[in-house]
Structure 1
Amino acid sequence: MSDLATRRIQLVKDHMALEVTHDWDAVIATFEHPRYEMYGSGNVFDGEAAVRSYFDASRTPFPDQGNEIIAIAHAGDTVLVEFWLTGTHLGPLRLKDRVVDPTGRSFRVRMAASFEFPPGGDKIICERPYFDQGAVLRALELA
């Protein structure tokens, strides 16, 4: 494996660990340009302010949200990660038509994400999580 691939994989591991500890400044520092493209919902969070708002919105209902890496690989200018997303419903969860009060229920769903890098670069330019939007709701017995 090349030195660049090794650096990119380590950066993604660090990025994911920092998300768990809510060190948002350090997470932002892993990006050349902060951007999330949510494959399941189609939402795009582009730029630091938008990404920070995504962090706030996603951690309000699940403040203990975590991830457990299953597999990680480097291909071209992309790092691919398969992982378990975990969390407990401890805060208000905003859905399209309602707000669900905390249930105290936990979830563990399998996901994948791609982390895109610029050619030759070792900072993320886009994280693209792939997931079944209903999986968390089903795990929480809300769907």
Structure 2
Amino acid sequence: MSDLAERRIRVVRDHMHLETVYDWDGVIATFAGHPRYEMSTGQVFDGEASVRGYFNASRSVFPDQGNEVIAIAHTGNTVLVEFWLTGTHLGEMRIGDRVIEPTGRKLRMRMAASFEFEEGSDRILVERPYYDQAAVARNIGIEL
């Protein structure tokens, strides 16, 4: 594995760890100057203010949200990660027009994310997490 691939994998591991300890400044610093999340739901959080808003909103639903890396791989300008998303449902969750009150249930759901890098760089251009909102709801005992 090349030195660049190893550095990119380290940056992604650091990025994911920083998310679990809510070090938002540290997470922002893993990006190439302009943070961006493109969610599988179609939502895009583009720029620091938008990304910080996403962090605040998602952590209000699962305030102890974390992740546990299962597998990680580097290919081209991308790092792919499979992980467990964990947390406790302690805040209101919105799915479409529906508001789901806190259940207090634990979440443990397998997910994936891709991290795209600029050619020759070890700074993230965009993170793309892949998940199904309905599967999140089912995982905490909510049928839609």
SS in 2 for 1:15: helix
Partner of 2:67: 67
How far apart, in 1, do the equivalents of 2:49 and 2:101 lie?
A: 26
How many positions carry a matched residue from both structures?
142
1:125 alignment counterpart: 125
* C-alpha distance in 1 between matches for 2:133 and 2:98: 16
Aligned-partner residue type, residue 14 of structure 1:
D
CA distance in 2, matches of 1:101, 1:138: 14
Give the match for residue 31 of structure 2: 31
CA RMSD of superposed structures (Å): 0.9
> Which residue does the alignment assign to 1:106?
106
Moved over 4 A (4+): none
Write out aligned runs for 1:7-22 (5 A).
7-22=7-22
* 1:81 match: 81
Q: What residue in structure 1 maps to residue 141 of structure 2?
A: 141
1:118 & 1:97 partners in 2: Cα distance? 37
1:18 Cα deviation after fit = 0.4
Cα deviation digits, residues 45-102 of structure 1 (max 9, x gap): 1110110111011110101111110000000000000001111001222332233222
Q: Which runs of 5+ in 2 are unaligned?
A: none
TM-score (norm 1): 0.96
Distance (Å, rounded) in 1 between the aligned partners of 2:100 and 2:139: 14
Post-superposition CA distance 1:10-55 (Å, at most 9, x none): 000000000000000100000012000001x110111101101110
Contact 2:95 2:133 in 1 (8 A): no
Report the identity percentage.
Answer: 69
User: For the Cα contact (< 8 Å) 2:77–2:118, is it kept in 1?
Assistant: yes
**Which runs of 5 or more residues in structure 1 are unaligned?**
none
| TM-score normalised by the chain length of structure 2 | 0.95
SS at match of 2:124: coil
Is the alpha carbon distance of 1:133 and 1:94 closer, same or farther for their aligned partners in structure 2, counting shifts above 3 Å? Answer: closer
